[in-house]
Amino acid sequence: MAPSFQLRWLVQWVVSVAAWAVLCGAGASHSPPLMPSLAPPCPAHCICLSQSQVVCNSAQLRGVPSALSPTVTQLSLSRADLRVLRSDAFSHLRQLRRLVLDACNLTKIRPFAFRGLPRLRELYIQHTPLATVDAFAFAALQNITSIVLSHNRIAQIESYAFAGTNFIKLISLRNNPIKRILAHAFSGLNDVTQIELPSGIRSIEPQAFAGLEGIGTLELAYMDLPALVQDTFRGLTRVGRLALRESDLGVIRVGAFDGLQRVDILEMCNNKIDGIEELSLVQNNSVGTFKLMGNHMLESPEAVELEVENIVISGNHLPCECGRDPLANPLALTPDFAEENFCISPLKVRGRSLASAASAGAACRGDAGGSARARAAAGASAILRHAFTSPHLALTMTALAFFAGS
């Protein structure tokens, strides 16, 4: 074979091989994958933004979609016609971290509805017709950051609704028509940073907070109570701050704080208090600081026993009873009590410090005693005195008594 012919054949062979390589490479770039995709199709009425983010905000959706990928971490079912959440409703979504059920027409949550969600951090249920939080509805949630239940129609929280749920930063129940807190409503709930309750509460049953162990802040505000009854806080332990503020507390009954234990700060601020049968915080309560500030009391306390490390009693308005030393008040437990608290009655000395009113003797002139009870007693005594010092008045009273007897 001639050398020139051999050279031409070699060149053609090289060119052919290169061409085939180019064609095969180009075809490979457009060829379908050898294995089909394992990702499930997006369920009807949903928008899958990714394998982890799904939005199903459709009124045509009647239940929790079962065809969702187990990789979903964020799920919104807002405005879905999701009336009842069954038990273990989301157990097929163990990676779920954020769940939104706002405006979803929800009326009932079955026990353990959110069980099987170990990674859930945020749960939002707002603007729904939900009227009752049933027993164990939010049970067995661990390490969740927040449960937001505001702007619903919740009127009642049944006993043990949050049992077995631990390490929560926030439970918000604001803007719900809750009028009564039942006994053991928060039993089994441990180590929660803050519980936000709505205004307008009218009744707190004995042991309403029993079994609630470890809470950073429990604030009860804008209540309208006839009384703070015995054992209201029994069983509530390990409290950072318990605040009763801007409320009508009615009468504080004997034993209202019995069974309350290990409280860093207990505050009673800016309340209206009709009377105090007993205000007792003993060593068993283990209260670090007690603050009684800015309250209006219609009657002076009958009995006060405060075995507390730090006591602040200031800015309160109390009856200035005629002839009574303000330091004889059972609340006179701080050095500046008479200077830092004020008269609520009688009218002539209202707003003046207890010390100022006592030194001026004004409570014994003009308007008579302090409280309504004291004024009534003083009025009755004055009538009797005049009856025996005035002949005409004595005769008149004798005649009235005769006709009344006949």
Tell me the sheet residues that pair with 314. 293
Residue 39: its pLDDT value, please?
A: 61
Q: In this model, does residue 239 exceed pLDDT 90?
A: yes
Give the domain-ending residue among 268, 283, 314.
314
The set of residues, in sequence order, having a beta carbon less than 8 Å from that of 269 and lying 6+ positions away, is 243, 244, 245, 246, 291, 292, 293, 294, 295
Of residues 263 and 397, more confidence is placed in: 263
- Average pLDDT rounded to a whole number, residues 203-221: 96
Within this chain, do residues 190 and 106 fall inside the same structural domain, yes or no? Answer: yes
Kindly state whether residues 267 and 161 are assigned to the same domain. no
Q: Quick one: pLDDT at residue 327?
A: 85
Residues 192 and 58 in one domain: yes
Q: How many CA atoms within 13 Å lie on the side-chain side of 165?
A: 35
Boundary residue ending a domain (314, 337, 364): 314
Question: Has residue 59 got a pLDDT over 80?
Answer: yes
10 belongs to a structural domain: no
Q: Read out DSSP for 175-186?
A: S----EEPTTTT
Q: What is the DSSP letter of 143?
A: S
Q: Does residue 45 lie within any of the structural domains?
A: no
Picking from 131-135, 256-260, 362-366, which range would have the lowest pLDDT averaged per residue?
Answer: 362-366
pLDDT-derived band at 375, boundaries 50, 70, 90: very low
Position 394 in a domain: no
Does residue 404 fall inside a structural domain?
A: no
Residue 362 has pLDDT above 60, yes or no: no
Asked if 111 and 176 sit in the same domain, the reply is: yes
User: Region 337-345: what's the mean pLDDT?
Assistant: 94
Indicate whether 185 and 67 sit together in one domain. Answer: yes
Q: Please indicate, yes or no, whether residues 160 and 58 belong to a single structural domain of this protein.
A: yes
Comparing 61-70, 129-138, 219-228, 333-342, which segment has the lowest mean pLDDT?
61-70
pLDDT reported for residue 359 = 77
**pLDDT for residue 379 is more than 90:** no
> What's the mean pLDDT in 15-24?
40
Q: What is the pLDDT of residue 254?
A: 96
Highest mean pLDDT among 12-26, 78-92, 313-327, 350-364: 78-92
Whether 56 and 194 map to the same domain: the answer is yes
Q: Does residue 400 belong to any structural domain of this protein?
A: no
Chain-wide mean pLDDT for the chain?
83
| Whether residues 290 and 335 fall in one domain | no
- Other CB atoms closer than 10 Å to residue 172's CB: what's the count? 19
pLDDT tens digits, one per residue of 155-192: 999 999 999 999 999 999 999 999 999 999 999 999 99
Residues 69 and 194 in one domain: yes
- Domain edge (last residue) among 296, 314, 332: 314
Q: Is residue 213 part of a domain?
A: no
Clarify whether residues 299 and 348 are in a common domain: no
Indicate the burial class of 91 (C-beta count within 10 angstroms; 0-12, 13-18, 19 or more): middle
Are 232 and 170 within one domain? no
- Three-state SS string across 41-73, please? CCCCCCEECCCCEEECCCCCCCCCCCCCCCCCC
Write down the pLDDT at residue 373: 44
Count of domains forming the chain: 3
Domain around 281 = 218-314
> Average of pLDDT values for 349-365?
75
- Residue 398 predicted with pLDDT over 90: no
Position 215 scores a pLDDT of: 96
Instruction: Give the pLDDT band (50/70/90) at residue 348.
Output: confident
* Mean pLDDT score, 353-374: 59
Lowest mean pLDDT among 119-133, 243-257, 336-350, 392-406: 392-406
Quick one: 56 and 170 in the same domain? yes
Q: What pLDDT score does 34 carry?
A: 36
CA gap 373, 361 in Å, rounded: 20
Quick check: is 349 in a domain? Answer: yes
- pLDDT (tens digit, 9 = 90+) per residue, 380-394? 333 333 433 344 434
Q: Is the sign of the CA dihedral 195, 198, 199, 205 positive or negative?
A: negative
**Statement: residue 4 has pLDDT above 80:** no
Residue 86 has pLDDT above 90, yes or no: yes
The pLDDT > 90 percentage for the chain reads 69
Residue 247's pLDDT is what?
A: 98
Residues 343-352, mean pLDDT to the nearest whole number:
90
For residue 222, pLDDT beyond 50: yes
Residue 249 dihedral angles phi and psi, to the nearest 5°: -90, -5
**20 lies in some domain:** no
